[in-house]
Structure 1
Amino acid sequence: MKNAMQGAFILTLASLVAKVLSAIYRIPLQNLVGNTGFYVYQQIYPIYGIGITFALSGFPVFVSKLVAEQETESQKIKVAQKAFVILSVISLVIVVSLLSFAPEIAHGMGDVGLTPLIRCVSLMFIFMPFLAVGRGYYQGIFQMIPTARSQVMEQVVRVVIIIGVAYTAVNQDWNVYRMGTWAMSGAVVAAIVSTLYFLRLFKKKIFRPLPTQTGPIASYKKLSKRFLIEGGTICLFAAIIILLQLIDSFTVKNGLVASGVSNKAAKSLKGIYDRAQPLVQLGLVVATSFSTTLLPSLTKAVQKHNRYEFKRTVQSMLHISLAISVAATVGMMTLMPQINRLLFGNTEGTSAIMIYVVAIVLAALIATYNSVLQSVNVFKPAIVAFFIGLGVKLLLNRVAVQQYGINGASLVTVLSLAVILVFMQLGSSDSLKGNLRLDIGFFGKLILASGSMVLVVNWSKMVLLSLFSNSGRIELGIMIVVVVLLGGLTFSGVAIGLRLFTIREWLTIPYGKKLLKKILDNKK
């Protein structure tokens, strides 16, 4: 548990830096290129998002599981070598498909001008095998720092290129499609840089032949089957929000046009709707990082048949993921008009964004549930639930957009995630349901802690807004930071007072020990 949490802490910090960068670059991007330019970028972003999920939090998790299952160093390297070959084939199929069918994909999105962006972003998949195997190998031996470094490195390079492109596009009066194509090239350059970081590993281990006698290793046929079922399930759930956004790319703009909105206005509205995406990503940082490092540890617990430790670990992860995601969601919803204005210059689309951020809680629980199911090699409930939820999004999204605009798309996203969560629970065995069940007492305490935080946030927000009624974005930013700190301290204080977490759970949260000690000392 301690090793897992230390690894989670390292990845949490790296993910936090990367996601903050991912959110920050969209602010100047949207402010520089406007809603329509933001729409062009965000239409293709889900394809990039799927690629980065495969290379960062999808296939690496499965590769780490394969590596953790092996007993000797030579077996670990051999299974990583076979994984690289399989992923290279998958990568080739994806690249060729995207390059060949880019015009048809763009036409399906209702905008043929997106074709060069699709072709550009497809090239990043060439580097997916290097990144997935490099990160997966290190995570499988519980070394999280290489993954963390490569993740931050990749995001820094990409963000620098995108901001540079946006600035150039505005000054050189580029059209939005040229801007989008060059912005997407940042993903390819970033993938190359991140791949170079793992070059030493591949030269020393992955690309070197091993002795024929390395111990029993599954055949390519068996490994390919596992990649398809187990690895595919991990990737699907790691990319669940991205896949829902991909459906949005095909249905939101088209649905708005079908409802009578002009083509130009529909592009602008889609750009406004897409403001919710970086906020949801930020809210999911901790939950994603914990679920990434949870799988190898749970696998070890299963192998040792330690049911008590397995259940206790699952319960701790559920408590922590749910509490943090609820606090983030409630806080964002309470401050959303101000956050929207601070980041994007106005409050357009606030209601749609407020609905959308509820996805943080649902996606955090889904990620934890899926990690538990993966650890005991149970895949059917997750796969069935996933496709039912995806079907709900596909069937209802365009209709909801035509009836309720971008609010309808947000509602259907939340509904789809709720459906997935319910069906995962229903499809699990009775023993797993017992591990995944949360007691009513925990929910009651969480509601009280969240409610107290909302009261403090609302009160402090009203006071500060009355003092700085004509404030600009800088003053607004300072106000939000102050309110967030007050809200966070309130939530933590009430959580400790109500014993929301056990002592053990507090000690596993990064800086939980120090926070607990300070609050208890103050009480004395």
Structure 2
Amino acid sequence: MSEESKAHQPQKAHVNSEAEAHQKMVRGSAWMTAGSVFSRVLGAIYIIPWVLWLGSNSTQGNALYAKGYNIYSFFLLVAIGGIPSAISKQISEYNAQNEYAVGQRLFKRGLLLTSAFGIFFGLIMWFGAGLIAAAFGGGDPNVIPVLRALAIALVIIPSMSLTRGFFQGYQQMAPSAVSQFIEQVFRVLYMLGATYFIMRVQRGDWVDAITQSTFAAFIGAAASFLLLGWYYYRKRPELNELAAQSEHKLAIPIWQLFRDIIVQAIPFIVIDTATTVFNLLDQATFQPMMQMIYHMDVPKINALYAYFAFNANKLVMIIVSLASAIAVTVVPILSESLASHNMRNIRKQLEDSIILFLFIMIPGALGMAAIAQPLNTLFYSYNQIGTLILQISAFTAIILGLFTVVSALMQGLSRNRDIIRYYLIGLIVKLIVQWPCIYFLSTAGPLVATAIGMMVACLMAMYDLEVNFGIRYVKLLPKVNRILVYSIMTYLAARVTVYGLNFLLNEQSKTQAFLIVVLAVAVGGGVYAYFALKSRLVDLMIGGRAAGLRRKLKIK
């Protein structure tokens, strides 16, 4: 072999390594995005019949559902303890060192830990439901049965989530994505069946319908866990083979495995509960602040609370889930690069993650803002306040998604203390601006206060990544500018379509609102796809397949 070809080998290895990491991230993101989006869309579509069957109690029911779920989400994230993400990160690191056996042992011990956590926090939530409802549920007694229904799901979801984390550590995203979808299918089927039976067959109480709707979380989790168990059974011969071929140089005692899990999990607990803590803060402060400032009665405040905490949140989380999909994918990949001290790969993965996020999130958020009016009518009812809140939520979703991705990047690079510090500073900012935001912006106040607090945390974290890992934001500007321009064109196209169709169709009809949404999405999505393909921007995301799409669509 010539000296010249030898000299080129390291460079080729670097290029291949970078390309492989990029493909892993894109492929993983595709699976997680598909799973998240399908499950979120399904989790939003059920609202249409659900709201109809609840009838005049739907707004109060939405508020009760949101109150119960926000509290449950906090307990769930503490019970899970960031363990799935921590396990995913650790297993990826052990696998990079060819210590597959240690990672598998870690997973089996982690199952014992998550089972114990699930039972412990489930019991606290069940027996402490009254006190919790008094502190965070506005003293509403209807929150108590909802919390007890959710406490049952809390027992098994931590172990289910840990199993997803195990597969993610092997960068196998399909089991997580498919199980996420199956979980939502079974949850929605039970919710709709129970609600229809209680409200239409029995002519029963709407609180019972909400209670059964929340119990559906257990039904979905059980179905998902069974599917993950089947995946694990199928993969067991392959996993055993990898374990047998391990280096077996690491001999880690059981107590140290548990300690490592908990130590790694603590930062994930804090960050994973970030959005939920912001929501709980709104839940605890919105009612007293609105009563003090605007002197409203409780039912009216509950209705306004439902607009942003349930109605808009359900729809906006569809696009925020895209950010979560990217975040889950990138943690094990970054951890693998960090373990091999490949700084070039790390910088490239950071830049790819941010561009991939912006490529999906910005047009998604602007598109949702453009169709907010017919979308709100389709899922809930024709309501100008609800439409305005959905528009504001769509814009603030970009910041929420950015925080999700940036915090995952920091955690993947073991910058745990720093991201926790930035998050806590953002939370303090949220506390400071909450009152003035509600005073000047009423129902939109909590959304704007959250966006301000999250933005402060994001900016600090992004500066940290620039200083410590050399990420070059200036280099990303041309791509970011193109994404912004195409997203604004998408917004305008969808907005003009909605405006024009409102002259031809009845904007207050759910059926005709559906037609407006479909046509506006087709027009807006078509505009973004055309420019992304024509400018070759989409090539960064899907590689060589973009050329095939251009040929089929005759785009030069």
Match for residue 278 of structure 1? 314
Given candidates 19, 23, 26, the residue that maps to 1:5 is: 26
Shift of 1:40: 0.9
Given candidates 331, 338, 343, the residue that maps to 1:302 is: 338
Query: Structure 1 residue 159 and structure 2 residue 188: aligned?
Result: yes
Given candidates 368, 372, 396, the residue that maps to 2:405 is: 368
Shift of 1:407: 1.2
Query: Structure 1 residue 480 and structure 2 residue 517: aligned?
Result: yes
The whole-number CA distance in structure 1 between the counterparts of 2:252 and 2:419 is 24
Contact 1:353 1:410 in 2 (8 A): no
The whole-number CA distance in structure 2 between the counterparts of 1:57 and 1:320 is 28
Partner amino acid, structure 2, of 1:25:
Y
Match for residue 222 of structure 2? 192
Partner amino acid, structure 1, of 2:375:
I
Given candidates 296, 299, 316, the residue that maps to 1:261 is: 296
Partner amino acid, structure 1, of 2:128:
F
Partner amino acid, structure 1, of 2:332:
P
The whole-number CA distance in structure 1 between the counterparts of 2:39 and 2:414 is 30
Match for residue 451 of structure 1? 488
**What whole-Å deviation, never above 9, does each CA across 1:288-333 have from its counterpart, x for those lacking one?**
1122111112222222332222222221221120121111111111
Q: Which moved more, 1:225-234 or 1:474-483?
A: 225-234
1:188–1:395 distance in 2 versus 1, CA, 3 Å: farther
Match for residue 86 of structure 2? 62
Partner amino acid, structure 2, of 1:262:
D
The whole-number CA distance in structure 1 between the counterparts of 2:504 and 2:148 is 51
Match for residue 344 of structure 1? 380
1:415–1:365 distance in 2 versus 1, CA, 3 Å: same
**Map 1:229-248 → 2, pairs under 5 A:** 229-248=263-282
Contact 2:363 2:491 in 1 (8 A): no
1:112–1:441 distance in 2 versus 1, CA, 3 Å: same
Partner amino acid, structure 1, of 2:281:
I
SS for the counterpart of 1:448 is helix
1:188–1:230 distance in 2 versus 1, CA, 3 Å: same
The whole-number CA distance in structure 2 between the counterparts of 1:436 and 1:103 is 49
Structure 2, unpaired ranges of 5+: 1-21
The whole-number CA distance in structure 2 between the counterparts of 1:217 and 1:112 is 52
**What whole-Å deviation, never above 9, does each CA across 1:358-379 have from its counterpart, x for those lacking one?**
2321122222222222222111
Q: Which moved more, 1:90-99 or 1:353-362?
A: 90-99
Query: Structure 1 residue 168 and structure 2 residue 197: aligned?
Result: yes
Contact 1:56 1:131 in 2 (8 A): no
Query: Structure 1 residue 250 and structure 2 residue 277: aligned?
Result: no
Match for residue 11 of structure 2? none
Contact 1:46 1:246 in 2 (8 A): yes
Query: Structure 1 residue 24 and structure 2 residue 45: aligned?
Result: yes
Match for residue 85 of structure 1? 112
The whole-number CA distance in structure 2 between the counterparts of 1:57 and 1:314 is 25
Q: Which moved more, 1:162-171 or 1:318-327?
A: 162-171
Shift of 1:60: 2.4
Contact 1:506 1:512 in 2 (8 A): yes
Contact 1:369 1:436 in 2 (8 A): no
The whole-number CA distance in structure 2 between the counterparts of 1:429 and 1:318 is 13
1:391–1:164 distance in 2 versus 1, CA, 3 Å: farther
Relative to the length of structure 2, the TM-score reads 0.84
**What whole-Å deviation, never above 9, does each CA across 1:116-173 have from its counterpart, x for those lacking one?**
2112212212113421232122222232222222211211111111112222332234
The whole-number CA distance in structure 2 between the counterparts of 1:26 and 1:225 is 42
Given candidates 507, 526, 541, the residue that maps to 1:489 is: 526
Shift of 1:106: 0.6
Contact 2:410 2:461 in 1 (8 A): no
Q: Which moved more, 1:28-37 or 1:489-498?
A: 489-498
Contact 2:507 2:513 in 1 (8 A): no
Q: Which moved more, 1:52-61 or 1:332-341?
A: 52-61
Partner amino acid, structure 2, of 1:165:
A
1:253–1:517 distance in 2 versus 1, CA, 3 Å: farther
1:436–1:82 distance in 2 versus 1, CA, 3 Å: farther
Contact 1:425 1:433 in 2 (8 A): no
Partner amino acid, structure 1, of 2:296:
V
1:254–1:214 distance in 2 versus 1, CA, 3 Å: farther
Partner amino acid, structure 2, of 1:257:
Q
1:260–1:168 distance in 2 versus 1, CA, 3 Å: farther
The whole-number CA distance in structure 2 between the counterparts of 1:57 and 1:479 is 43
The whole-number CA distance in structure 1 between the counterparts of 2:233 and 2:105 is 12
How many residue pairs were aligned? 516
The whole-number CA distance in structure 1 between the counterparts of 2:473 and 2:327 is 14
Q: Which moved more, 1:465-474 or 1:263-272?
A: 465-474
Shift of 1:475: 2.3
Query: Structure 1 residue 382 and structure 2 residue 419: aligned?
Result: yes
Quote the RMSD (CA, aligned, Å): 3.1
Given candidates 315, 322, 326, the residue that maps to 1:290 is: 326
**What whole-Å deviation, never above 9, does each CA across 1:372-408 have from its counterpart, x for those lacking one?**
2222211122101112222333454366445543111
Shift of 1:22: 0.9
Given candidates 55, 63, 68, the residue that maps to 1:44 is: 68
Match for residue 131 of structure 1? 160
1:58–1:79 distance in 2 versus 1, CA, 3 Å: same
Partner amino acid, structure 2, of 1:192:
A
The whole-number CA distance in structure 2 between the counterparts of 1:107 and 1:300 is 45
Match for residue 4 of structure 2? none
Match for residue 171 of structure 2? 142
